[in-house]
């Protein structure tokens, strides 16, 4: 990258010393390709558990790439009738989830799954409830052309962006070319999404950063249930992500309407399995489960406590321990819910770097 940057600098110097050029083209040529490598601060314990933040070899984070991705994430030109951006369904105040049970596409059509939060996904290797995409880049291709989401075509998106005064220069700064294509659009968006890290909840302060006063006694009791009697920690790992990034069936239904992972793999043995979602900022991402069946955390806890369906196909190996439910006492349920609220990270929800650019 350094070589390219130097080369770009030389080219620009030659061009700008050419005094005969017209003022307008000189202004354009001042845009340089000199991307600045960017790293996102994550606490040491995160690296200890899940290693360094990952990205495809051909898409490292740069300041310019992330800035472009931020603009594109909020860009309504991506949708057919210019009314919808990624952020329409992924709202920062909801940890980039959609408070609606089912998101509505530009033509009013409803999807049949709850949108997903976008938190700490840089370490993930499978996306969507059924894991059908392997990278954030691949994932970002889909909503643009999905008929019940942005309902657009990539050639149309590229044409619109190319015809603006701003985007060609921004792509040049980020990727060294003014010729926009869909791959560069999704690369920039993926870079921006990789910066969404959330490690500053009260839970982090208490559990990972050693601040014993960060939780109240009730919240500590709830944490004890989470990792003890409740066995939540079997799948929503306490390490750093509150998920193990695996597809599992937590026993919602005897006859799952949505085949989940099986939709992608075609295997009967995957029927009813869904991505274990992170519980970070969970108090902000209602409604819950892939089909939004639960409106509140009270309902979720009620399910794990009383309503686990052991005859659900491919039920996870951890669920038999639940029997027909954990049968938590009323106080235990309240404590567990209090603990789940400590996973909220206000800094993440209000970080201006993630907000719509001015």
* Residues 176-215, mask of contacts with ligand HEC (x by CB under 6 A): -------------x--------------------------
Q: Cβ atoms within 10 A of the Cβ of 278, count? A: 26
We find the least distance from the C-beta atom of residue 76 to ligand HEC, in angstroms, to be: 10
288 near ligand HEC, rule: CB under 6 A: yes
276 binds ligand HEC (CB under 6 A): yes
- Is residue 105 close enough to count as binding ligand HEC by CB under 6 A? yes
Pick 50 or 189: Cβ nearer ligand HEC: 189
Candidate residues 59, 62, 88, 191; the one interacting with ligand HEC per rule CB under 6 A: 88
Alpha-carbon distances, residue 101 vs 9, 110, 233, 285, 297 (angstroms): 50, 10, 26, 10, 14
- Hey, what are 351's tokens? 């970080």
Tell me the two tokens of residue 90: 């992924």
- In terms of Cβ atoms closer than 10 Å to its own Cβ (0-12, 13-18, 19+), residue 38 is middle
Question: Catalytic one among 75, 137, 149, 332?
Answer: 149
Q: Which of 42, 128, 238, 283 binds ligand HEC (CB under 6 A)?
A: 128
- Per the annotation, the verdict on 149 as an active-site residue is yes
Q: Which residue has the tokens 């010393």?
A: 17
Round to whole Å and give the CA distance between 250 and 304. Answer: 9
Residue 189, CA distances (Å) to 53, 136, 289 in order: 16, 8, 25
In three-state secondary structure terms, 288 is strand
Under rule CB under 6 A, residue 282 binds ligand HEC: yes
Residues that bind ligand HEC (CB under 6 A): 78, 84, 86, 88-90, 103, 105, 111, 113, 115-116, 118, 121, 127-129, 136, 139-140, 143-144, 149-150, 189, 230-232, 234-236, 248, 250, 252, 274-277, 279, 282, 285, 288-290, 300-301, 304, 316, 318-319
Which residues are designated catalytic? 149
């Amino acid at each position: 990258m350094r070589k390219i940057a130097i080369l770009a600098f030389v080219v620009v110097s030659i061009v700008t010393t050419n005094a005969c050029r017209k003022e307008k083209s000189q202004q354009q040529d001042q845009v340089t390709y000199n991307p600045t490598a960017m790293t996102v601060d994550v606490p040491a314990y995160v690296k200890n558990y899940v290693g360094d933040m990952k990205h495809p070899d051909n898409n490292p984070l740069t300041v310019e790439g992330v800035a472009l991705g931020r603009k594109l994430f909020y860009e309504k030109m991506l949708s057919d009738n210019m009314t919808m951006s990624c952020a329409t369904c992924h709202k920062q105040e909801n940890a980039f989830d959609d408070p609606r049970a089912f998101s509505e596409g530009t033509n009013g059509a409803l999807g049949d799954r709850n949108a997903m939060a976008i938190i700490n996904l840089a370490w993930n290797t499978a996306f969507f409830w059924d894991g059908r995409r392997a990278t954030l880049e691949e994932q970002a291709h889909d909503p643009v052309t999905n008929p019940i989401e942005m309902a657009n075509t990539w050639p149309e998106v590229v044409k619109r962006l190319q015809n603006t005064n701003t985007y060609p220069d921004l792509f040049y700064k980020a990727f060294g070319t003014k010729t926009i294509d869909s791959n560069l659009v999704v690369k920039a968006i993926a870079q921006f999404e990789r910066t969404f890290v959330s490690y500053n909840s009260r839970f982090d302060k208490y559990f990972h950063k050693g601040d014993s006063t960060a939780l109240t006694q009730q919240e500590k009791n709830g944490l004890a249930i989470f990792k003890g009697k409740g066995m939540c920690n079997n799948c929503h790992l306490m390490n750093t992500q509150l998920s193990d990034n695996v597809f599992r069936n937590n026993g919602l239904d005897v006859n799952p309407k949505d085949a989940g992972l099986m939709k992608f793999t075609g295997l009967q043995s995957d029927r009813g399995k869904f991505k274990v979602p992170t519980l970070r900022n969970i108090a902000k991402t209602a409604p819950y489960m892939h089909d939004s069946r639960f409106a509140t955390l009270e309902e979720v806890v009620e399910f794990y406590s009383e309503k686990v369906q052991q005859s659900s196909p491919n039920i996870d190996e951890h669920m038999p321990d639940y029997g027909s439910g954990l049968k938590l006492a009323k106080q235990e349920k309240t404590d567990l819910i209090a603990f789940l609220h400590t996973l909220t990270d206000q800094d993440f929800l209000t970080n201006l770097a993630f907000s719509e650019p001015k």
